Structure 1
Amino acid sequence: MIAAEETFDGTWPYPARFNEAAGFRQHYVDEGPVRPGQTIVMLHGEPTWGYEWRHLIGPLSRHHRVVVPDHMGFGKSETPQDRTYDASEHILNLESLLVDTLDLTDITLVVRDWGGPIGAGFALRNPGRISRIFAVNTVLPLAEGIEDLMKANGAESRWFQWAHSALADGSFEQILGNAGHTIAQLMIDLQHVARPEIATPTWIRAYSSPFPTPAESRGVIAFPRQVLEGPQSPPPGPPPMEAVAALRAVPAMLAVGMRDTALLPQYVIPSFKLSYPDAPVVEIPGAGHFPTEDAPETLLALLELFLQTTPART
């Protein structure tokens, strides 16, 4: 867990806030004015934290309320040792923050990587609170057929090929358990940061600092493990069809870094189209798994255009 006051040489200037409604200390930032229909919730993926949204928070918060949580075990959030870290648990944590504590409505969900399944899980439980979905290199499990696409992705993805191999030879937990030393290289090599020149000492420190010990690396271990081995806790039953239908009716957009070697575009794009056949998909040729890092200006422009051209619930 990163110290609350850490700014990483001024690259993360946002005041830390904490919520304990879910039984642990969860960090989030909450910037910008409170206005009806103008709330953006941005969810990070593996193995990052809210820091990956740093280039977007400032510009967006001039006109919108922007809430950016760190998942349990990531960033400035606590890493409790008595949790499963299954996606279902992260969904309940998010609900404790966004509903029980902040009571947010008219939410534009902005999700990348694991932020997609977690955000979709939250949205299925709270469809009336969601106005829009902006997806970035992620999968939204809202339609039949997505599981087959993800199995095909797993067979070809460099990230999942490595994870399968590492599980087989016993090095998986050793490598991710030392994420404080290995995570930056894994991001660059296996998930593909397309612009390795951005990996400055400050950048490496920002992404390595959440994981100083194996005990504090539980979150970063659990995400890929549950894809490969299944969750530790029984998965929830199928969502109500009316909730699925409500979510598939909101405006949605997908932005895809086309050099992603973890979630391959040839599977991510059709998976999105299963749920949103008429929604726009924008390909970002020069970005990999992390358009938030490779092309933040492009991502910001796309998101601002999406907000301007789609209606919010009022």
Structure 2
Amino acid sequence: MKRRQFMAMGAAAVAAGVAGACAPLAPMTRGGAGSAARPATDAAAFAAARRYAELGVGRIAYVERGAGEAALFLHGAPRNGYQWRGAIDRLAAHRRCLAPDFMGLGHSQIPEHQSLAADAQAGMLASLLDTLAIGSVDIVASDSGGAVAQLFLSRNPGRVRSLLLTNCDVEPDSPPAKVKPIVEMARAGTLDEMTAQWLTDKGLARSTFGAAVFRDPAGFADETIEYYIAPLLSTPLRRAQYNAFHAAFEPNPLAGIEAELKRSTVPLRVVWGAADDIFAQSDAEYLDRVFPNSQGVRRVPGAKLFFPEEFPEVIAEEARRLWRV
């Protein structure tokens, strides 16, 4: 695939019921997420709150806010837990909110030969919860984090109280067609080279990646781009792991999971960006069909893949409804 084609289409996917209406949505704030009426935690404050858990798989970075029953927020690619800052601002009064960085992304520090596949990520989460003495969680997940959430649920059904999924992988659509060129670049060891351009040219990051995943890419702030991309390129090992994370999207990490999900009694709510063209719109209905205790689908008009960062008030509203708080 030519570089121009990739930048216009594939870069967006580096990541990788009842229809409800929503109120008019406000643009992102300077921090890159949240409504104009309620500024989100900025990058410096989020970084200052970062903690580390020493696990067998490595040193896992996470941010924790709030108290009581725990909620686990699982990010997409190439992002990290900072994606959920606006939602956590709104939900920390109701839950002990945990936003870890997946192995190979963000600020987690992983040894060279550790698997970065989705199944290994699910195992890491179980170890993290054990280390933090957390028995069960409500999960909020998007993009590739949604695949990890489904795998975690299938392997730890007693540890999940509820599941809120936004646009993400499902078994028949993992990885989606627009992600496959990214997988090819990752396997060739060149995905990091393309991504590095976003650090030196923030306008390019907004006009390619940002335009494909946000309704308003102008709100994809410089500090947000730095917070996501800089750690991925910080060392040769981190660059290799960034490629490896995406190369692990194939083969399909969710192959064979449908039968297990059909046996789940966990309440599910699907909140789907209606303007996303990376994950199929029909994937939302698939999740609604497969989970016996689905609470239906809410479509977010005009919203693209990474709308949870852009409109955290939608996530907070739906989470509170699902959690009954």
Q: Tell me the equivalent position of 2:22.
A: none
d(CA) in 1 for partners of 2:258 and 2:268?
20
Q: Does 2:65 match 1:31?
A: yes
Give the structure 1 partner of residue 270 of structure 2.
Answer: 254
Where 2:240 maps in the other structure, the secondary structure is: helix
Matched, 1:17 2:51: yes
Give the conservation status (yes or no) of the 8 Å contact 1:46–1:220.
Answer: no
Distance 1:218 1:98, change over 3 A: farther
Question: How much has 1:290 moved relative to structure 2?
Answer: 0.3
Q: 2:284 aligns with which of 256, 269, 272?
A: 269
- Greater relative contact order (Cα 8 A, min sep 6): structure 1 or 2? 2
1:84 corresponding residue in structure 2: 115
How far did 1:215 drift? 2.6
Correspondences of 1:112-151 after superposition (within 5 Å): 112-140=142-170, 146-147=171-172, 149-150=173-174
3-state SS in 1 of match to 2:269: strand
Counterpart contact for 1:137–1:263, Cα < 8 Å: yes
The structure-2 alpha-carbon separation of the partners of 1:244 and 1:174, relative to structure 1 and needing over 3 Å to count, comes to closer
Q: What are the within-5 Å matches in structure 2 for residues 178-193 of structure 1? A: 179-182=195-198, 184=205, 187-189=209-211, 191-193=212-214
Partner Cα distance (1:290, 1:15) in 2: 23
Q: TM-score, normalised by structure 1?
A: 0.77
How far off is 1:238 after superposition? Answer: 6.0
Report which stretch shifted further, 286-295 or 212-221.
212-221
> Residues 45 and 165 from structure 1, CA distance in 2 versus in 1: closer, same or farther, beyond 3 angstroms?
closer
What is the aligned counterpart of 1:195 among 209, 216, 227? 216
Contact 2:103 2:109 in 1 (8 A): yes
Describe the superposition over 1:270-292 as per-residue Cα deviations: whole angstroms up to 9, x where unpaired. Answer: 33123226531011112111012
Contact 2:190–2:243, Cα closer than 8 Å, also in 1? no
2:230 corresponds to: 209
Instruction: Tell me the distance in 2 between the aligned counterparts of 1:54 and 1:240.
Output: 31
Residue correspondence of structure 1 range 233-244 to structure 2 within 5 A:
244=261
Q: RMSD of the TM alignment (CA)?
A: 3.0
Q: String of CA shifts for 1:6-65, please: whole Å, max 9, x gaps.
A: x9654526622211122311111221113xxx3111111111100000001122111211
1:292 equivalent to 2:308? Answer yes
- Give % identity: 24
Residues 189-228 of structure 1: CA distance to partner in whole angstroms, max 9, x if unpaired?
5x52221111222122112222224531334323432334
Q: Partners in 1 of 2:49 and 2:183 — Cα distance?
A: 39
For 1:68 and 1:57, the matched residues in 2 are separated by 9
1:182 and 1:10 map into 2 onto residues whose CA distance is 20
> 1:165 deviation in Å?
6.8
Residue 209 and residue 280 in structure 1: after superposition, are their counterparts in 2 closer, same or farther (change >3 A)? same
Alpha-carbon separation, structure 1, partners of 2:320 and 2:227: 26
Where does structure 2 lack aligned partners over 5 or more consecutive residues?
1-40, 200-204
Distance 2:254 2:213 in 1: 32
Determine helix, strand or coil for the equivalent of 1:84. Answer: coil
Query: Would you say the 8 A contact 2:274–2:304 is kept in 1?
Result: yes
Change (3 A) 1:194 1:126: same
1:242-265 deviation line (CA, Å, top 9, x unaligned): x6455x211110111122232222
Contact 2:57 2:114 (8 Å CA) reproduced: no
The alignment of Structure 1 onto Structure 2 pairs a total of residues equal to: 277
DSSP-derived class of the 1:298 partner: helix
Q: Give the alignment partner of residue 110 of structure 1, picking from 140, 145, 149.
A: 140
Structure 1 CA distance, aligned partners of 2:85 and 2:241?
21
| Aligned residue identity for 1:269 | A
Q: Aligned partners of 2:238 and 2:271: how far apart in 1? A: 31
Q: Name the residue aligned to 1:306.
A: 322
Q: Does 1:280 align with 2:296?
A: yes
When normalised by structure 2's length, the TM-score is 0.75
